[in-house]
Structure 1
């Protein structure tokens, strides 16, 4: 593949973006039209709005960084909420657009190596075992919808599930927690667009299981409003769970290129949570990870992310994840 700006040829240039990492870093304004074109196609293919709607007469949604103002008859950037007759219709506190399943512990959680489910962390207050919690399970809750538009999305199929004929109530999800369920993990997509539902389901589950260990965890891009961040953090802190931030890039320009959205809110929220994490160092409350996308997330980018984390608290666990070609970055090689 040849970069349309500098002419460099490399197998590490995404066919969808058509621009190389150097041009994104050094010539962003010229790269931006190609970046926008790639994201517009990814949105158009699934009938999603190209940009977060900002109609002056639209209904405001303030859950995430996008702060959509949704006009009549249209949907928000996450694809979940529609303005019908002047009212927002879609998932809310009382109904969720999701799938759930049980995952035996220890599992492939990005925090497995430091969390109570896969290590000795938090025992005995927040863990059933002084080692991995064999014999227990995680209630994995996969939310459809997302506030980002990652061209490399590993779970892009949620886009086919945005229109649901039936929803799951918070009580139905809470009842799925049985005696061998040690934790609930919300992921997706991203849990942020349906945070009010997740918080209510968690409240019911914790109430139903009062007096025993039940951790509440989140895997997220971290771009939620502070009001929701605070509630999510409080629930994880008290229950022994963690918040796992997917730090996709340190550079705002690269984050926009890869995900279509700024990472300012993500980094701001991560910094805020480091202070909360000091309240409960064991088990770790805040965890970070980065996907190693060949050609785009390189040594320089990882180093920048690591320095950012260390500047806040050098004890925050940070893991690097292997990339598998998916979605609109399917021509790139796997992490080797």
Structure 2
């Protein structure tokens, strides 16, 4: 176990300050995410270095389309989540059937950050990505990992629901967080109803991160009859334009009925037609880069320069061709900045 950073003692309990749930945890009890325990009046993480999921992925798979395109990242995840989305696509990690403390106790191998960086370099990765489940739960681990990765010239990324506290986000930035793909679940009402969370905290973090030099891309998993209506997509898109800028990449992905979906009558994959309509709505709201995920047509993955309308990155699955980019990430036809490279 690793002592958790950011905690506050209060009337016989200890308050965890890692995410905006700010759980007040009694002695020998766990917080909402089941990864933080109060032992002797102090909070400890039971998943530090517990890495059951590890792979070497194209950065496009996160997805990041405007951040070192064509590069690869060592991608890790652990157990647990501070949300309980009924549609979770990675529920075997975020909400495993077996208790997380049992999985932690029986784990045969923990991977320290030093070893992980060595693995990244050995496999010719250009960066790290903490993903699969909610990366904020690996906060303490991330701090050390990011520092070590930076020393080796690697970039660091999070794929997150964006619900960490401001203090946690500031520390991540100090230690070398370079990019975040933040999952925007839906409008304020949907996030409150199905995630029990305040979406304003997510937008706050996205804005703060961008203002402090972090590359931001956003993803919405489109669930038919839950967040697929025109007004919801329009409100999300307009918020992106107003808060983060019209050239912020927005990924709209097709959802499949996993985890508890059938309990909520989400019983079939979102129709591709709804994704095409959502993309048009997002473009009409002023966004310049709107991509579709989990659809059959690769045309909605290519990057088109918003200034001269030339194709600058062609994608087919996770294979890419930087046909219109110069060495500085600018459009070679007109000089418009496209991406970090």
Match among 57, 69, 73 for residue 138 of structure 1: 73
In the TM superposition, what is the alpha-carbon distance from 1:236 to its structure 2 partner? 4.9
- CA–CA separation in structure 2 for the residues paired with 1:266 and 1:303: 18
Partner residue in 2 for 1:12:
none
Match among 256, 280, 292 for residue 324 of structure 1: 256
The answer (yes or no) to whether the contact 1:174–1:202 under 8 Å persists in 2 is no
Partner residue in 1 for 2:247:
315
Aligned ranges 1:20-59 → 2 under 5 Å: 56-59=11-14
Partner residue in 1 for 2:157:
217
Count of matched residue positions in the alignment of Structure 1 and Structure 2: 249
Match among 74, 79, 86 for residue 151 of structure 1: 86
SS in 1 for 2:28: coil
Relative contact order higher in (CA < 8 Å, ≥ 6 apart): 1
TM normalised by structure 2 equals 0.67
CA deviations on 1:282-326 (whole Å, 9 max, x unpaired) are: xxx111110101111122111101100100211211110110111
- CA–CA separation in structure 2 for the residues paired with 1:320 and 1:233: 26
Q: Aligned pair in 2 of structure 1 residues 153, 308: CA closer, same or farther (>3 Å)? A: same
- Does residue 63 (structure 1) correspond to residue 6 (structure 2)? The answer is no
In the TM superposition, what is the alpha-carbon distance from 1:84 to its structure 2 partner? 2.8
Partner residue in 2 for 1:126:
none
Partner residue in 2 for 1:45:
none
The answer (yes or no) to whether the contact 2:51–2:78 under 8 Å persists in 1 is yes
The answer (yes or no) to whether the contact 2:18–2:164 under 8 Å persists in 1 is yes
Q: Which runs of 5+ in 2 are unaligned?
A: 1-8, 272-341
Partner residue in 1 for 2:224:
294
Q: Aligned pair in 2 of structure 1 residues 303, 242: CA closer, same or farther (>3 Å)? A: same
SS in 1 for 2:120: coil
- CA–CA separation in structure 2 for the residues paired with 1:70 and 1:156: 24
CA deviations on 1:3-51 (whole Å, 9 max, x unpaired) are: xxxxxxxxxxxxxxxxxxxxxxxxxxxxxxxxxxxxxxxxxxxxxxxxx
TM normalised by structure 1 equals 0.68
The answer (yes or no) to whether the contact 2:56–2:125 under 8 Å persists in 1 is no
- CA–CA separation in structure 1 for the residues paired with 2:143 and 2:270: 35
Match among 159, 163, 168 for residue 228 of structure 1: 168
SS in 2 for 1:196: helix
In the TM superposition, what is the alpha-carbon distance from 1:174 to its structure 2 partner? 2.6
RMSD value, Cα:
2.3
Larger fraction in strand: 2
SS in 2 for 1:258: helix
Partner residue in 1 for 2:42:
87
